Amino acid sequence: MTTEKRGRRHWPICRVTGKQRLDEPKDVKNVLHAARTLRGRAALNGSRSVWNVVSGYDCDACGGYHLTSRPRPAWTSVRRPTPLTVAPFMGSGLT
């Protein structure tokens, strides 16, 4: 079985935002992975990458997905730990 590398995609443009419209969440994941990889390679070479996308979001206007350089809001990216309740220590009963 051989795998073929998919060629460069030409995404349509959203008429409302003017950004590239990605079709599926997996496309956002793949593009973000590629951007992270390029930023890592640039850092290893002592340079900077100009591809600064860090998250994606769904667009109500076009029904697709867009990329942004803004990080996700804190309420969606931070998972708060479940509070634990601990019973008070009663001791071993030996005095």
pTM over 0.85? The answer is: no
For the chain, the C-alpha Rg in angstroms (whole number) is 22
Domains contained in the chain, number? 1
- Residue 43 included in any domain: yes
- Residue 19 included in any domain: no
Domain with 29, as residue range(s), is 25-73
Per-residue model confidence as pLDDT tens digits over 31-71: 999 999 999 999 999 998 888 898 999 899 999 999 998 87
Which SS3 state, helix, strand or coil, does residue 79 take? coil
- Residue 58 included in any domain: yes
Per-residue model confidence as pLDDT tens digits over 21-32: 999 999 999 999
- Residue 91 included in any domain: no
